[in-house]
């Protein structure tokens, strides 16, 4: 199962639009429906207006009508075990649970597994905003 996510993230990374940073990233999400939604970083000359790979994958998941992430794989071409950035950690947390598994990959596959609570131990949560 992890391998499916790794392959989807790697395929997404190959589609990254990273002409400025030269730092392609791919992400793949398995949602509650069992389907995999992937994304790549898409840069914009007006930094930091681009989209991270995780954000793009979440967008695909949401547009497919899904709202719950079961597990995530992330891969970067130039940095093994590249974790999501701070903003993406919060975005992932909003669609995940504390035990959601996050797989950090290198070019050969999954190399480290974290839970969402490991990745973002004190995520921003509140009941008062809705």
Residue 27: how many other CB atoms lie within 10 Å: 32
Say if residues 72 and 54 touch (Cβ distance below 8 Å). yes
Decide: helix, strand or coil at residue 15.
Answer: coil
Question: Tokens 């921003």 — which residue?
Answer: 124
Catalytic, 32? Answer no
What is the spatial distance between Cα 25 and Cα 79, in angstroms, rounded to a whole number?
9
- Catalytic residue, chosen from 7, 43, 54, 71, is 54
What is the spatial distance between Cα 61 and Cα 43, in angstroms, rounded to a whole number?
20
What is the spatial distance between Cα 130 and Cα 113, in angstroms, rounded to a whole number?
31
Active-site positions read 54
């Amino acid at each position: 199962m992890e391998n499916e996510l790794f392959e989807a993230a790697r395929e997404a990374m190959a589609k990254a639009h990273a002409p400025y940073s030269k730092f392609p990233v791919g992400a793949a999400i398995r949602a509650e429906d069992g389907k995999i939604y992937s994304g790549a970083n898409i840069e914009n000359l007006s930094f930091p207006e681009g989209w991270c790979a995780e954000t793009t994958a979440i967008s695909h998941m949401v547009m497919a009508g899904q709202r719950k992430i079961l597990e995530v794989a992330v891969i970067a071409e130039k940095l093994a075990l590249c974790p999501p950035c701070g903003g993406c950690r919060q975005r992932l947390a909003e669609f995940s649970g504390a035990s959601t598994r996050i797989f950090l990959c290198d070019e050969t596959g999954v190399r480290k597994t974290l839970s969402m609570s490991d990745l973002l131990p004190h995520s921003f949560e509140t009941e008062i905003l809705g």
